[in-house]
Structure 1
């Protein structure tokens, strides 16, 4: 989402001032204007003073008497009242500057998602615009709803909440610009079989392909660099009953981790409640251990069938050629095989790491 810039002057002319200017030119009084419009003298005096608004009926009467379009009167009136409302809310917004400052403003600004403002009230407005909320209370209510789902199984959550909420919001924003079909479980499973074949491709090839295949099945796929203090690998959640989101960070930047995380998040969408938000990172999760284990097993088995890997391990002589041959046989990248062997402690985490490709931001 690019920053939206609107010209917002810090002043507005009351339509009453223009009325008075025209009365001076015509050399008639406010009382006479009231008589010609068929309105009370008090009402016209209050309109001229900016105390009473110009209603559509009055605008039509002023149009006939002063020969200025009713739409001009109503436009001036709307701009003036909007200006007054902006001025009125500034002190209340400024009081929430400390709240706004808890979010990673600098990083969000560098990503073009909001602006850094010197004025306290303006900065709060920028944060509200970023989150798509009209007030701090409404924004906090939305946060409370998310936290009730996202953090309910995580008493010692590793990520900073403000940073995590910001990162989740970026997912919403990115998703707004990605068109998808309605979610279709069978189509999604078929798409994942095609995605699996992409593990041997370079990142610049497979990322757009994943996005397209997932979108055609009703799932938005987003890769978004983590914000500071966001210790996550990925998240899966439902944006609506017919549209899901998988958002990954590339936090560990290795191909085995990337692909396992992707299929792990897919498993949550396929197997578990649509009312949950599944946050996943190294050594942490916000869901019940049984659900997490189920997603782990599904992802591992989808990447490499468990029985095939078990048979391979029984004859594995720690030769690199065995890894490459097994990977080719199953149409999978060798780095994923190494990652699975390390996870099962067949290999130490330092062994055969040359097969584990490292992804770099900007590729």
Structure 2
């Protein structure tokens, strides 16, 4: 602790230099002499009001006395808990508080929290956790949500790593896309079959709620060459979005996209749209296949040519029945084509509650049953 004198010592020296007594200063300030004695003896600090009064009495800036008091108090303050800096570093890199809230981590002292983060990100040294070194150096706080996306990705990986499935079969997955999955696209309740169908193809599947400010829709990555993973957030809990994102990620699996890529370089699909500007070829292909899967392009083109611009709900329902799709799925594709996001939005029903009992789901108040 630095030996910083109490401000009262300076006041005592100033009184002696001016030939004043404590009672003289009390008279000048219009306060009881006991109050001056308490300050000079170090039993009382200098309040902001007293700093202003002393400034007038001694003809100096009141800030001088405030600084004396602040320096004295800081010198006597206890050293902060060293874990504060560590927690600040972790929170700067990842939404640790939210991860604790979601049950991904436990709220423990920092040494145990470090161990949890290393286990979560599969690293043997906390300094190897992606993003921590950058978080320690960054000066601004406009960092994009990519670290939240990475945390979400690792949660999907943590969940899916505990699944035991047969090796991946591209043939069975293509058959599922061509025959099995389309059978379940007319009734919202039929989404419950998706986890089973994917598991039979050797594809691990999990639904993990996205983190705040991370506009995650889904992801495809590989645990190894025979173990693809599809993670979805169902951020938009709508039947059209569910099937579009699912088929988008399935296309990545079928193309082998992401094989052998380090975890830090895996691209999480964010705010999936059909716009082509700036998208890499693999994303363009996945978008095109997803759109055609939801509503075959040839049939959609013909429908819009015949019915637009006056397309009624009856038209949508009849067309959906003919092609074996739920009206909400057709509505989603018509909205995209006509650029009318509000059009017949009531047809786009929710599906998460239908699939949740049959899939591994993490979020919305309930963490997935996996080891921390």
TM over 0.5: yes
- Structure 2 partner of 1:302: 293
Structure 2 distance, partners of 1:125, 1:173, is 15
Pairing 1:355–2:347 present: yes
Conserved 8 A contact 1:100-1:127: no
Q: Secondary structure of the residue that 1:234 maps to in structure 2?
A: strand
- Structure 1 partner of 2:112: 122
Structure 2 counterparts to residues 1-363 of structure 1, below 5 A: 96-102=86-92, 103-117=94-108, 119-140=109-130, 160-192=145-177, 193-203=179-189, 205-207=190-192, 209-273=193-257, 274-275=259-260, 277-282=266-271, 288-316=279-307, 317-345=310-338, 348-359=340-351
TM superposition shift of 1:158 = 8.8
Unmatched runs of 5 consecutive residues or more in structure 1: 1-90, 145-156
Conserved 8 A contact 1:268-1:295: yes
Q: Secondary structure of the residue that 2:185 maps to in structure 1?
A: helix
- Structure 1 partner of 2:370: none
Structure 2 distance, partners of 1:92, 1:286, is 48
- Structure 1 partner of 2:39: none
Structure 2 distance, partners of 1:120, 1:186, is 48
The answer to which of 278-287 and 324-333 deviates more is 278-287
Unmatched runs of 5 consecutive residues or more in structure 2: 1-80, 135-141, 358-372
Q: Secondary structure of the residue that 1:240 maps to in structure 2?
A: coil
TM superposition shift of 1:353 = 1.3
Give the 3 Å change call, closer, same or farther, for CA 306–325 of structure 1 in structure 2: same
Structure 1 distance, partners of 2:293, 2:180, is 12
Please provide the CA RMSD for this pair: 3.1
Per chain length, whose mean CA-contact separation is higher, i.e. which structure has more relative contact order (CA < 8 Å, sep 6+)? 2
Q: Secondary structure of the residue that 1:260 maps to in structure 2?
A: helix
- Compare CA radii of gyration and give the structure with the larger one: 2
Give the 3 Å change call, closer, same or farther, for CA 95–321 of structure 1 in structure 2: closer
Give the 3 Å change call, closer, same or farther, for CA 279–113 of structure 1 in structure 2: closer
TM-score (norm 2): 0.61
Give the 3 Å change call, closer, same or farther, for CA 360–143 of structure 1 in structure 2: farther
TM superposition shift of 1:159 = 5.1
Conserved 8 A contact 1:324-1:334: yes
Conserved 8 A contact 1:237-1:245: yes
Conserved 8 A contact 2:168-2:203: yes
Conserved 8 A contact 1:100-1:123: no
TM superposition shift of 1:338 = 0.8
Structure 2 distance, partners of 1:186, 1:143, is 43
Structure 1 distance, partners of 2:253, 2:161, is 19
Give the 3 Å change call, closer, same or farther, for CA 179–323 of structure 1 in structure 2: same
Give the 3 Å change call, closer, same or farther, for CA 267–259 of structure 1 in structure 2: same
Give the 3 Å change call, closer, same or farther, for CA 163–246 of structure 1 in structure 2: same
TM superposition shift of 1:123 = 2.3
How many residues of Structure 1 are paired with residues of Structure 2 in the alignment? 257
Structure 2 distance, partners of 1:297, 1:182, is 27
Give the 3 Å change call, closer, same or farther, for CA 184–359 of structure 1 in structure 2: closer
Encode CA deviations 1:317-347: one digit per residue, 9 max, x unaligned: 51222211111111111111111111111x6
Q: Secondary structure of the residue that 2:340 maps to in structure 1?
A: coil
Structure 2 distance, partners of 1:265, 1:167, is 16
Structure 1 distance, partners of 2:198, 2:244, is 16
Encode CA deviations 1:27-81: one digit per residue, 9 max, x unaligned: xxxxxxxxxxxxxxxxxxxxxxxxxxxxxxxxxxxxxxxxxxxxxxxxxxxxxxx
